[in-house]
Structure formats: C-alpha cells, structure tokens
Amino acid sequence: MLSKSQARLFFLTATAGFSGVFLFLTVDTIRQVPERSNEDAMTEQVVRGKEIWEKNNCMGCHTILGEGAYYAPELTRAYVRRGEDWLKIFLADPQAMYPGQRKMVQYDFSEQEIDDVIAFLKWIGEIDTNGFPREPDLALPVQTAAASTSSPGPAAPAIFSTVCVGCHALGGQGGVVGPALDGVGMRYSEAELRAWLADPQSIKPGTTMPNLTLSDADLDGLTAFLMAQK
Ligand code: HEC
Ligand code: HEC
C-alpha cells in the first residue's frame, strides 16, 4: 500500500512525466509539418487551386486527407493515380471518363482553372501522410502497354498508358469501359483509326468513347501503335 504522501508523489511525477512526453510529441509533430507538407512547393497556383476547391465545395462530395463527404472518391492521391493528362480531360468533361455512370459536376472551368486545381491536387498528393490512404482505391494499371503486349512495334505513347488504359485493356491489363484493343490493327485501317481517335462522334454518333482532343503528334503515335496490335 502506498501512503498518502507516496500516492501524491506518484500522481505528481506520473502526471508531470506524461505531460512532458505529450508536449514533446506535439512539438515534434508540428516541427515536421513544413517538411512533410512540402511547404516550399506551395506556389501561388496551388493556392489558387485550393480557392477553387473551396469555392466549389468539392468537399461536399469528396474527401481530401480524409476530410469531407463520402459520396465521391477520396482525392488525396488523385494526381498520383491518374496523372495530369487524365485529370485535364476529366475536369474539362467528367462524363467523358465515366460514360453512363453517376456524374461528377461539369464545372466549365477555364484551362487556367483546371491547371490550378491540378496543381493543388499534385501538391496534396505529395504530402507525406504516413501512407494515408492505404491503397490507391482507383488505381490504373500503371504498366505500360508496350510491356504488356508481345507484338513488336512502336512503343505506346505516354498518353496511352495514362488515359486510354483507363477504359481499354491491352494484353489483359486495363479498364473495361471500352473494348479490349488486342488485335485492333487487324480490324481497322490506319485511316479509320486516326479518324476515330480524332473525333469518335463523327464516325459513330452517340458513342461513349470521348473526343480526347488529341494533338497531331499523339494521333500519329497512337495510330502507329494501334496498327502494330495484330
Ligand atoms: C456533387 C458531387 C461532386 C462534387 C461537388 C464534386 N465532385 Fe468530383 N466526383 C464526383 C463523383 C461522383 C466522382 C466519380 C466519378 C463519376 O462518377 O463521375 C468524382 C470524381 C472526381 C475525380 C476523379 C477521381 C478519380 O480518380 O476517378 C476528381 C479529380 C474530382 N472528382 C475532382 C473534383 C473537384 C476538383 C471538385 C470541385 C471543384 C469536385 N470533384 C466536386 C462528384 C462530385
Ligand atoms: C472514357 C473511356 C474511354 C477512353 C478514355 C478511351 N476510349 Fe476508346 N473506346 C471507348 C468505348 C466505350 C469504345 C466503344 C465505342 C463504341 O463502340 O461506340 C471505344 C472504342 C475504341 C476503339 C475501337 C475499338 C474496336 O475494337 O472497335 C479504339 C481503337 C479506341 N477506342 C482507342 C482509344 C484510344 C487510343 C484511347 C486513348 C487515346 C481511347 N480509346 C480512350 C471508351 C474510351
């Protein structure tokens, strides 16, 4: 049994000790914030993106760093899992990437605003969150198409691996929104493929394949790559 004075001493030392540990850990956490949040990388563009994020109440549907509403995907790692090309197309026309599904709001952002939002998402994505969220919940197969196909030919343009694989599979890897592209070079001529990629609606009105407003260089690269899928 502790005597009264021993009990008091025990209480006081333990309280002081644990308060000390608590204070130390608090200060230590706060000290790490600038480094873990890449404070230096917080440019004006990032701040503008955050303002757009707040003004439009994106958190009314999304969570970021775990905070917000659970209607739509968690976006802390949106930049990491989707990449810039995909996000650009998606923010300009969300439905293009999710034909026929529940819809993200079409905001009619200007190109500048889209870049700002992407800069914000990129910065958020680079925060060291101790591994949160655990797994990218909507991960794309990051494997490049060239590696997943056995047929020789030109390497897949970057945009193929960042955008097209979100909807199309090749060699068993990729999305299932559109048809798998294995053997597509046998089904179409070069001219047909180019015309399709340039403007799917003009070839097949009502199709859910989006017009991705591809540059001439991307059209050339993609057509050559698809023609080699035989
Ligand atoms: C009314 C609810 C709602 C609001 C508000 C909203 N979103 Fe979304 N968002 C969605 C839904 C739902 C999806 C899932 C895709 C779909 O079904 O269209 C989505 C998907 C996304 C994605 C793609 C995530 C992925 O990896 O697939 C991004 C990026 C995104 N939203 C950004 C934003 C930004 C930025 C704002 C604010 C400017 C915003 N959202 C506001 C509903 C919303
Ligand atoms: C948002 C989803 C989506 C994205 C992104 C997308 N596609 Fe498609 N694609 C489709 C759908 C859906 C079809 C089927 C269209 C139809 O038959 O109406 C299709 C059809 C095609 C076809 C015809 C395939 C066949 O066997 O008939 C080709 C080729 C194609 N896409 C190439 C591409 C390329 C290359 C990219 C990237 C630049 C791309 N797609 C991006 C959804 C998508």
DSSP type of residue 1: -
Question: In which residue are the tokens 């190109």 written?
Answer: 111
- Tell me how many degrees the CA angle 119-121-125 measures, rounded to the nearest 5: 115
Q: How far, in Å, are 38, 50, 79, 139, 213 from residue 45 at the CA level?
A: 14, 9, 15, 26, 25
pLDDT of 103: 76
61-83: per-residue pLDDT in tens? 999 998 999 888 899 989 988 88
Domain 145-227 CATH assignment equals 1.10.10.10: no
Ligand having the closest approach to the CA of 118: 1
pLDDT of 151: 53
96 lines ligand 1 (CB under 6 A): no
Tokens of 23: 């204070």
The protein residue with its alpha carbon nearest to ligand 2, atom 40, reads 164
Asked if 97 contacts 86 with a C-beta cutoff of 8 angstroms, the reply is yes
Q: What does the domain layout of the chain look like in residue ranges?
A: 51-126, 145-227
Within the chain, which residues score under 70 in pLDDT?
A: 102, 135-152
pLDDT of 102: 67
Neighbours of 4 (CB within 10 A): 7
168 Cα: distance to centroid of ligand 2 (angstroms): 7
The 10 Å CB-count burial string (b at 16+, else e) for 168-202 is: bbbbebbeebbebbbebbeeeeeeebbbbbbebee
pLDDT of 217: 92
168-194: per-residue pLDDT in tens? 999 888 888 889 999 999 999 999 999
pLDDT of 207: 85
CATH architecture of 51-126: Orthogonal Bundle (1.10)
Q: How many Å apart are CA 74 and CA 59, to the nearest integer? A: 10
124 lines ligand 1 (CB under 6 A): no
pLDDT of 147: 44
Return the closest-CA partner of residue 88 out of 223, 217, 96.
Answer: 96
Tokens of 53: 């994020």
